[in-house]
Structure 1
């Protein structure tokens, strides 16, 4: 018991320090880091409030029938062929329950495709076997910026490249989830994701942001998310797409709006240097302050 308690505490601390990724002993959904994911959490708990009592009721009825109406206790079976009251109950009850589930379900579905305000940033995510390509188009960008948007590929980070990339911390950059170039977006910003594919069907999925949208060749699917917290958050391709499907991660780095503006201005010419400067700025902002300095 002591070992299980220690493991549970360690997992909880890891979740707090590094949200937006799977953790050992995790049984619930990932922490909600966007308004839509918060609504998904609510709907999941709301649905469980119906599923659990229904499951208990059905299991209880099955157990009672197996006991009460076994051949030993009930050698002469009933000849009843019709009971109006029971038939009305088992017809109306499921209809009412389904209505209680359908109405909030449709409300959530509507919210997923209708953001609260106009998107301030558009990122086109193109799936390849087996990596992602990102192309940026901020809202209100100048014609010059629109003609040459920031674009780059995001490949899975190999174990050999960790140290050279400055990503040796496996808690912050997990195995099979870390990438060489994260998608960078500003916090508290509505981001439009345009998802497509260059070869087979992929799926762009970010569990903590409530994002899951198919990437289909020859088609562009649209989705939205609004990150509420700074940090690096992870997802994966969630459509079976070939032998390296298991290693097609998605990493989103959420930064302040000022940091994003600086990064975006530099990323068009030198992505590597822009990422290095962004990492340095984040580390400087999170470093403990010394009194009097």
Structure 2
């Protein structure tokens, strides 16, 4: 119980802090969505809270109606059942009521879908992500081309990778090579599958898109805060589906440029240099909440 309480308090501390590098990952007993790291995710979180203003009253109304029906129209209280076939007023209410509710849900929903699906024209960089059984391959497209595979970090490899801190690099979520992007830059993400259908999901960015063999899907994100963000494959893809996490490290533009130049020759060395640079700026990695 102490560990669970600590995890919840750590998540709340990160939310209240609002600044600094943090690792977005699941925590025990959480019920809320992951803190937003993009404007799209901010819209998703707002829409969730907005819909509750309709869901909760409707649920309470239906519950009350069921109670009235059970109490008032049970056999003991109403031995002679009514033969009423229709009621014009009630039929108008239960027809127009849902229409009005759906109208208020549809407008912000379509606006949010439009923001998610339309790729901005001013894209800063393009990355291709390929889902494999059971790891991810990344290709940076541009003047400096970088490509590497990203596997689940094995326990015996933590020391060599310098990722022994399980608060920052949790079990079943940490990887050997993170996807590295600069903060405040618009990233166009091309997603496909090499063998079976996978799905690229990054909750903090509001990104979830299928990786289908023979098809190139695309989405985008623009991270607004530096940190380490975790996601997972979200399409059942075989026996090790639960062991192909996604990790994105968001850093400053200078750190990214230095990493990119070194990664063109040696991704492993570039990652270690980047980790050292990040650790120099902040020795603590705060933990943010995330929904499963």
Same fold per superposition (TM over 0.5):
yes
Q: Does 1:213 align with 2:209?
A: yes
> What CA deviation, in whole Å up to 9, does each residue of 1:112-155 have, x standing for no partner?
022455110111000000000000024xx3xxx4xxx1000001
Q: Does 1:105 align with 2:101?
A: no
Q: Which runs of 5+ in 2 are unaligned?
A: 285-292
> What CA deviation, in whole Å up to 9, does each residue of 1:6-50 have, x standing for no partner?
664245347767442111221000101111000000111111111
1:4 positional shift: 7.8
1:270 positional shift: 1.1
Are the counterparts in 2 of residues 32 and 41 from structure 1 also a CA contact under 8 Å? yes
Instruction: Report the equivalent of 1:12.
Output: 12
Higher relative contact order (CA 8 A, sep 6+): 2
Instruction: Report the equivalent of 1:153.
Output: 149
Are the counterparts in 2 of residues 21 and 208 from structure 1 also a CA contact under 8 Å? no
Range moving further from structure 2, 107-116 or 242-251: 107-116
Q: CA 1:102–1:267 in structure 2 vs 1: closer, same or farther (change >3 Å)?
A: same
Are the counterparts in 2 of residues 119 and 192 from structure 1 also a CA contact under 8 Å? yes
Instruction: Report the equivalent of 2:169.
Output: 173
Are the counterparts in 2 of residues 11 and 25 from structure 1 also a CA contact under 8 Å? no
Q: Does 1:58 align with 2:62?
A: yes
Instruction: Report the equivalent of 1:120.
Output: 124
| Number of residue-to-residue matches in the alignment | 280
Q: Which runs of 4+ in 1 moved over 2 A?
A: 1-19, 114-117, 285-288
1:241 positional shift: 0.1
Q: CA 1:96–1:225 in structure 2 vs 1: closer, same or farther (change >3 Å)?
A: same
Q: Does 1:265 align with 2:261?
A: yes
Instruction: Report the equivalent of 1:240.
Output: 236
SS where residue 29 of structure 1 aligns?
coil
Instruction: Report the equivalent of 1:95.
Output: 99
Instruction: Report the equivalent of 2:31.
Output: 27
Range moving further from structure 2, 96-105 or 211-220: 96-105
TM-score, L = length of structure 2: 0.91
Name the CA distance, whole Å, in 2 between partners of 1:3 and 1:171. 12
Q: Does 1:70 align with 2:74?
A: yes
1:287 positional shift: 5.4
Are the counterparts in 2 of residues 205 and 236 from structure 1 also a CA contact under 8 Å? yes
Q: CA 1:211–1:268 in structure 2 vs 1: closer, same or farther (change >3 Å)?
A: same
Instruction: Report the equivalent of 1:129.
Output: 133
CA root-mean-square deviation: 2.0
Rg (Cα) greater in structure? 1
Instruction: Report the equivalent of 1:291.
Output: none
1:97 positional shift: 0.6
